[in-house]
Amino acid sequence: MTQTYATVKDVTCPFCGLLCDDLTVQTNGPSAKVVQNGCAWAVAGFAQQPGTASASIQGRPCTVDLAIQRAVQILIGANQPLIAGLATDAAGCRAAMALAEKAGAAVDHLHGNAISSNAVVMQRRGWIMTTLTEVRNRADLVVLFGTDGDSVNPRFIERCLRPRPGMGRNRNRPRKVVFIGEAAEARALKRALPAALTITCRKQNQLDLLAALRALANGQPGSLPRSLAGKLPSLKRLAELLRSANYSVCAWAPGQLLPDQADIVIESICGLVTALNEHTRAAGLALGGSDGAVTAMNVCAWQTGYPLRVNFAGGAPEYIPSRNATDALLQRREADALVWISTFHPLPPPGGLHNIPRIVLAPPSRKLAGLADVYFPVSTPGVDAGGTMFRLDSVVGLPLRQVRSTSLPSAAEILNRISGKI
C-alpha cells in the first residue's frame, strides 16, 4: 500500500481557546500527527482517527437522509428542544442558531456557566480587557487569580508569559508573574515558571483577599478576617507591584472559580483593574474559552444580541441565562428533545436526560452512536475541515485549515439540512 506523507506548517489548533497558529502537522492518509509546537491536548486531538462511522438511528446504521428525516420528526414533535454542547466552529454555530430559531429551541454551550459568569459582569459594570498579543508584548506584571494558566490553556505560559515583552516601554524587560490561589495550582505554576510572589488561599477566601487588595491598591488600609491576617504583608507587596507596574494584567479562568461566586470574583477583579487605572495602566484577561466557547458566544451575540442561553420557544430570542441553562432545562424536565453538538471530541451528552430523544453530532464514536437516538458522525473543524474560530480574547477570528481529507460532513451541513426540512 502506498503511503502519502505531507507536512503542513503553521496549522491553527482548535483544541483550546488559545488557538495557537504555529503547529506543524504530518498527515498520512486519514492520520494526522503533531510533530512541532503542539501541547498534549493538541497531540491527542489531532491523533483522533476520523473512522468510517455512518449515521445511525437507535444505534443501527442508516443513511444520512434517513437520520435527517428522524431528527426532523423529533424536533417537530418537541415542545422545548434544547441545542447544547455547541462545541464547533463559527459556521456550525450559525447553523445551530438558524435551527434553534426554526425549531423554537433553547441554545447553550458546554461551558455555558463560564461564559455566563463573564457575560453578566460585562453587562453589569463593563470591564477593561486586553488581548493575548498585548499580554505577550507589553505587560510587565501578570497576576493570575485562581489559575495557573496552563491547566486551561496549556501553552499560555510558553506563548504569553515566558517571552520578554517585545514592544513599548517594557520592551526586553523581565516580566513579573504573581499567583493568588490554591497551593496545588501554585505548585503547578512553579514547575513552569518562577513567580515573583505567590499568595496561597482557598477559593472560598478569594473575595476577602480581593477586597483587601483593592483597598490597598487605592492607598487605603486593607483589612482581612483574623484567619487570613497573615496574608496582609503579601497583599501589601502585591499592591505596590500593581501600582508601580507600567502595564499590569489580571487574569482569571471563569471555569476554575467556585460556580456560586464566580461572577462576584470576576466583578471584584474588574473593580481592581478599574481602580488601578487611576494610577497606571491595567487590564483584565479571561482565560479558557475552549471547545469553541468564545466562537459560540460571538455568533449568538451577532444573531440575537445576547451572549448565549437564549430561547426561541416564544418566536423571538428570550435571554434568561439561569432559566435557559442546559442543567436547568433538564432538571426542570422542560427540555423534551436534545441536539448535542461536540465536534472537537466525542463527548457524551449530559446526564439527567429522563429519556428525552438525543440527536448527537460528534466525531465518529461507537459509544456515542449507542447512546444517541439519532447520531451523525461529523468532521472536526481545523482537522478534517476548514472553518473559523474566535480566540479566547475574542478579538481575533482565526481561519482553520483542513489538514487531512475525510468524507465526513460538517456539523453545519447536517444542521442546515435539518433546518431546511422544518
Q: Where are the alpha helices (DSSP H) in 203-336?
A: 206-217, 232-244, 262-276, 293-304, 321-324, 326-331
To the nearest whole angstrom, how small is the minimum distance from the Cβ of residue 267 to ligand SF4? 27
User: Is residue 41 close enough to count as binding ligand SF4 by CB under 6 A?
Assistant: yes
Tell me how long the chain is.
422
Backbone torsions φ then ψ of 84, nearest 5 degrees: -135, 180
- Give the gyration radius of the chain's Cα atoms: 23
Report which of 99, 69, 91, 57 is spatially closest to residue 415, judged by C-alpha positions: 99
User: Is residue 16 close enough to count as binding ligand SF4 by CB under 6 A?
Assistant: yes
Among residues 18 and 161, whose Cβ is nearest to ligand SF4? 18
Question: Tell me, what amino acid is at 328?
Answer: A
Q: In what order do the strands lie in the sheet with 31-36?
A: 5-11, 23-28, 31-36
C-alpha cell at 240: 505596590
Residue 126, C-beta contacts closer than 8 angstroms, at least 6 positions apart: none
User: Is residue 18 close enough to count as binding ligand SF4 by CB under 6 A?
Assistant: yes
Question: Tell me, what amino acid is at 210?
Answer: L
Among 11, 32, 42, 266, binds ligand SF4 (CB under 6 A): 42
User: Is residue 253 close enough to count as binding ligand SF4 by CB under 6 A?
Assistant: no
User: Is residue 155 close enough to count as binding ligand SF4 by CB under 6 A?
Assistant: yes
Q: How far is CA 405 from the centre of its chain?
A: 26
Residue 301's Cβ-count burial label (10 Å; 0-12, 13-18, 19+) is middle
User: Is residue 161 close enough to count as binding ligand SF4 by CB under 6 A?
Assistant: no
User: Is residue 13 close enough to count as binding ligand SF4 by CB under 6 A?
Assistant: yes
Residue 266, C-beta contacts closer than 8 angstroms, at least 6 positions apart: 117, 118, 121, 252, 254, 257, 286
**SS3 of residue 298 by DSSP:** helix
User: Is residue 132 close enough to count as binding ligand SF4 by CB under 6 A?
Assistant: no
Among residues 295 and 324, whose Cβ is nearest to ligand SF4? 295
User: Is residue 112 close enough to count as binding ligand SF4 by CB under 6 A?
Assistant: no
CA distance linking residue 415 with residue 83, whole number of Å: 11
Among residues 215 and 395, whose Cβ is nearest to ligand SF4? 395
Among residues 155 and 417, whose Cβ is nearest to ligand SF4? 155
Which of the ranges 9-17, 195-203, 341-349, 403-411 carries the binding residues for ligand SF4, by CB under 6 A?
9-17
To the nearest whole angstrom, how small is the minimum distance from the Cβ of residue 285 to ligand SF4? 15
Q: How far is CA 236 from the centre of its chain?
A: 33
CA distance linking residue 333 with residue 209, whole number of Å: 40
User: Is residue 222 close enough to count as binding ligand SF4 by CB under 6 A?
Assistant: no
C-alpha cell at 166: 517585545
User: Is residue 414 close enough to count as binding ligand SF4 by CB under 6 A?
Assistant: no
To the nearest whole angstrom, how small is the minimum distance from the Cβ of residue 135 to ligand SF4? 14
User: Is residue 153 close enough to count as binding ligand SF4 by CB under 6 A?
Assistant: yes
User: Is residue 391 close enough to count as binding ligand SF4 by CB under 6 A?
Assistant: no
Among residues 106 and 294, whose Cβ is nearest to ligand SF4? 294
Among residues 136 and 309, whose Cβ is nearest to ligand SF4? 136
Among residues 92 and 288, whose Cβ is nearest to ligand SF4? 288
Among 85, 92, 146, 154, binds ligand SF4 (CB under 6 A): 154
Residues that bind ligand SF4 (CB under 6 A): 13, 15-16, 18-20, 38-39, 41-42, 153-155
